[in-house]
């Protein structure tokens, strides 16, 4: 019975994780294709998730995220008390580098953009808060993996503070720098990053940005409030 319940929860989580800012509503067939589950399985799970408000279904039969997900998201954001200190840091980094600044937390095998400030440049690397990205590529992923004691590629070079300066990481057109943000007790809270077009955010600019990011990460460590369970 326990294994059955765990499998059911995992299937429900895979359905929720299938949604993104690019795919806000999906048909039964699209959800089945995205999750790799049979249509009948998705239908059973979706019916239960609708009852608890985690999914909605419109007149055309397309599913979307329900209000219960929004409620839990608000609780998470309220519990994460560092937003008031992180947002000014992101604005400062954008002002000084001209590139997009963001703060990520890990969610299982993905990383989530919890806070961001987009570059004012018309041609830029644009992020949305809540965006989920994989943990196999990119400076942020490498920082979070290393902090978790997980293996990283041998060609990734870390600074003494555990930061990464990476050209053409997850996206061949985007380069970035990232640094871990810790609580005063040394607990990992997330990763602070600056990302920009590789043609503009070159090695010299990344080195300057990296020093800024590391400096802000040190200040955030003094001001941070631990996130329970992070």
Tens-place pLDDT, residues 190-222: 999 999 998 899 999 999 999 999 999 999 888
Listed in sequence order, the residues at least 6 apart from 226 whose beta carbon sits closer than 8 Å to its beta carbon are 183, 185, 187, 189
> What pLDDT was estimated at residue 230?
42
Buried b or exposed e, range 193-229, using 16+ CB within 10 angstroms: bbbbbbeebeeebbeebbebbbebbeebbeebebbee
- Domains of the chain (ranges; CATH) run 2-71 (1.10.10.10), 80-223 (3.30.450.40)
Nearest-angstrom CA–CA distance, 86 and 103: 8
- pLDDT tens-place string over residues 82-140: 677 889 999 999 999 999 999 998 877 888 888 899 888 877 777 778 788 888 889 99
Nearest-angstrom CA–CA distance, 145 and 159: 15
Task: Enter the pTM of the model.
Answer: 0.69
Read off the pLDDT band of 224 (50, 70, 90): low
């Amino acid at each position: 019975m326990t294994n059955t319940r765990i499998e059911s929860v995992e299937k429900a989580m895979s359905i929720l994780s299938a949604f993104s800012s690019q795919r806000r509503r999906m048909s039964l067939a699209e959800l089945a294709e995205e999750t790799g589950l049979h249509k009948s399985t998705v239908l059973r799970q979706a019916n239960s998730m609708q009852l608890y408000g985690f999914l909605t279904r419109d007149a055309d039969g397309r599913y979307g995220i329900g209000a219960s997900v929004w409620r839990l998201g608000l609780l998470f954001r309220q519990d994460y008390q560092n937003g008031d200190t992180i947002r000014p840091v992101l604005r400062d980094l954008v002002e000084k580098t001209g590139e997009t600044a963001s703060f990520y937390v890990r969610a299982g095998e993905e990383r989530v953009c919890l806070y961001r400030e987009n570059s004012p440049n018309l041609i830029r690397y644009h992020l949305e808060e809540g965006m989920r990205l994989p943990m196999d590529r990119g400076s942020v992923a490498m920082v979070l993996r290393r902090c978790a004691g997980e293996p990283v590629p041998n060609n990734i070079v870390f600074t003494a503070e555990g930061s990464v300066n990476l050209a053409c990481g997850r996206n061949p057109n985007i380069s970035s720098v990232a640094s871990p943000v810790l609580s005063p007790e040394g607990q990992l809270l997330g990763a602070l990053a600056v990302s920009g077009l590789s043609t503009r955010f070159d090695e010299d600019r990344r080195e300057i940005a990296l020093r800024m990011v590391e400096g802000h990460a040190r200040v955030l460590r003094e001001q941070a409030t631990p996130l329970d369970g992070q």
